[in-house]
C-alpha cells in the first residue's frame, strides 16, 4: 500500500517545528505542494530547507499568526496564488496551556480560543468553497486528549480542543456530500520541539533521552510517540486510501487516553 498525495496542495499550520514539520516532510515526500505556516521567520527558513530535501513538488513558507484574522486573510489568498488551490488543511498550530480555572483570565480564554478554535474556523471558511467546487477536500483538526477527557487543571486547552472536536464533527457531516472529509487527531505525548524546549528550561541534570523516557513511563505502549508516526497517520487520512473515514476523532497516544 503506497500513500500518495500527488497533485494535491496542503496548508499545514504550525509546521516549522514538531508535529507540523514532520507532516510537512511526509506530505511533501508523498507528492503534495506544501505551505509551511508559522510566526518566526528563522524557523520558517530552516523548515523550508528541511522539507525541500524530501519534496516531490512545491514548498513555500508563509509568516502567519493563525490567532490573527488579518494574517489568515492575507495568507490563504497568497497560498492559492502560489499553488492554485488548497485541497488539504491541517489545523495544527497550538500550545499546551493548562491551569486551574481560578487562574484563567478572560484574556487567557480569548487567546486560547483565538489560536485553537477561531484559527481553524477562519482558515476553513476560506478554503471550504474551493474544496466544495472541486468535490475533494481533507481537513484535520489536531487536538489533545482533553477534548474527550477533560480533567482538573486542563483548561483552557481542553475546552478549546473539545470545541475543535465538535467543529470537526459538524464539518464532517456538512462536507461529506461534497467530498470533503474532516477528522480529528487527539495527541497524547509525542516527541516534538515543545518537549525539547521544556527540557531545556527545566533546570535538570537529566539528559533529554532520560527526560523523554520518564514522560513515556506511564504510557501503556511504554514510550512517548514519534512525530513521524503522527505524520504517517495524517498523511494516510488525507489520501484517497482513507476515502470512507470522516468525523473520526483518533487518539494518537499509545493507549494513554482513559476513553475511546
Ligand atoms: P511545537 O511547539 O513543537 O511546534 C509548534 C509549531 O506551531 C511551531 O512551528 C510554531 O512556530 C507554531 N505556532 C505556534 N503558535 C502559532 C501561531 N499563533 N500561529 C502560527 N504558528 C504557530 O508543538 P507540537 O508539534 O508539539 O504540537 C503540535 C500540535 O499538537 C499543537 O496544537 C499542540 O498543542 C498539540 N499537542 C501536542 C502534544 C505533544 O505531546 N507534542 C500534546 C498535546 C497536544 P512559531 O512559534 O514560529 O509560530
Question: What integer best gives the mean pLDDT of the chain?
Answer: 98
pLDDT at 71: 98
Tell me which DSSP letter residue 14 carries: T
pLDDT at 203: 79
Pocket test for ligand 1, best of 13, 114, 194 (most atoms within 8 A of CB): 194
Nearest in space to 25 (alpha carbons), one of 237, 227, 253, 192: 227
> Can you tell me which atom of ligand 1 is nearest the CA of 116?
32
**pTM over 0.85, yes/no:** yes
Cell of 179: 467530498
Domain carrying residue 149: 9-190+225-252
Looking at the domain assignment, is residue 69 inside a domain? yes
**Phi then psi dihedrals of residue 41, to 5 deg:** -60, -35
Looking at the domain assignment, is residue 18 inside a domain? yes
The number of distinct structural domains making up the chain is 1
| Spacing, Cα 1 to ligand 1 middle (Å) | 30
Q: Which burial class, exposed, middle or buried, applies to 98 when counting CB atoms under 10 A from its CB (0-12, 13-18, 19+)? A: middle
Query: Bridge partners of 99?
Result: 155
Looking at the domain assignment, is residue 243 inside a domain? yes
Looking at the domain assignment, is residue 218 inside a domain? no
Which CATH number covers residue 127? 3.40.50.720
Looking at the domain assignment, is residue 95 inside a domain? yes
- SS3 of the chain: helix, strand, coil, percent, to 5: 50, 20, 30
Looking at the domain assignment, is residue 259 inside a domain? no
> Can you tell me which atom of ligand 1 is nearest the CA of 43?
47
| Spacing, Cα 182 to ligand 1 middle (Å) | 20
Residues in contact with ligand 1 (CB, 6 Å cut-off)? 13-20, 37-40, 43, 64-67, 92-96, 115, 142, 144, 187, 189-190, 192-194
Tell me which DSSP letter residue 97 carries: -
Dump pLDDT digits (tens) for 24-79: 999 999 999 999 999 999 999 999 999 999 899 999 999 999 999 999 999 999 99
Looking at the domain assignment, is residue 219 inside a domain? no
Looking at the domain assignment, is residue 1 inside a domain? no
Dump pLDDT digits (tens) for 207-258: 999 999 999 999 999 999 999 999 999 999 999 999 999 999 999 999 999 9
Amino acid at each position: 500500500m503506497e500513500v500518495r498525495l500527488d497533485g494535491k496542495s496542503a496548508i499545514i499550520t504550525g509546521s516549522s517545528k514538531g508535529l507540523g514539520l514532520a507532516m510537512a516532510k511526509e506530505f511533501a515526500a508523498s507528492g503534495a505542494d506544501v505551505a509551511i505556516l508559522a510566526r518566526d521567520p528563522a524557523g520558517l527558513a530552516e523548515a523550508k530547507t528541511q522539507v525541500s530535501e524530501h519534496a516531490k513538488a512545491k514548498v513555500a513558507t508563509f509568516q502567519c499568526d493563525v490567532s490573527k484574522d488579518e494574517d489568515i486573510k492575507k495568507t490563504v489568498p497568497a497560498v492559492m496564488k502560489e499553488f492554485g488551490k488548497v485541497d488539504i488543511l491541517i489545523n495544527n498550530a497550538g500550545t499546551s496551556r493548562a491551569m486551574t480555572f481560578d487562574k484563567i483570565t478572560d484574556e487567557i480564554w480569548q487567546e486560547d480560543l483565538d489560536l485553537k478554535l477561531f484559527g481553524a474556523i477562519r482558515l476553513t471558511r476560506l478554503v471550504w468553497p474551493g474544496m466544495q467546487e472541486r468535490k475533494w477536500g481533507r481537513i484535520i483538526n489536531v487536538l489533545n486528549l482533553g477534548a474527550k477527557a477533560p480533567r482538573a487543571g486542563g483548561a483552557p486547552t481542553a475546552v478549546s480542543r473539545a470545541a475543535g472536536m465538535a467543529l470537526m464533527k459538524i464539518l464532517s457531516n456538512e462536507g461529506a456530500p461534497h467530498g470533503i472529509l474532516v477528522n480529528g487527531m487527539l495527541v497524547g505525548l509525542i516527541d516534538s520541539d515543545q518537549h525539547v524546549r521544556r527540557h531545556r528550561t527545566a533546570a535538570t541534570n537529566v539528559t533529554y533521552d532520560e527526560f523523554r523516557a520518564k514522560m513515556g513511563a506511564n504510557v501503556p505502549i511504554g514510550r512517548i510517540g514519534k512525530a513521524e508516526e503522527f505524520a504517517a497517520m495524517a498523511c494516510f487520512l488525507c489520501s484517497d486510501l482513507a476515502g470512507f473515514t470522516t468525523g473520526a476523532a483518533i487518539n494518537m497516544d499509545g493507549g494513554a487516553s482513559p476513553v475511546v
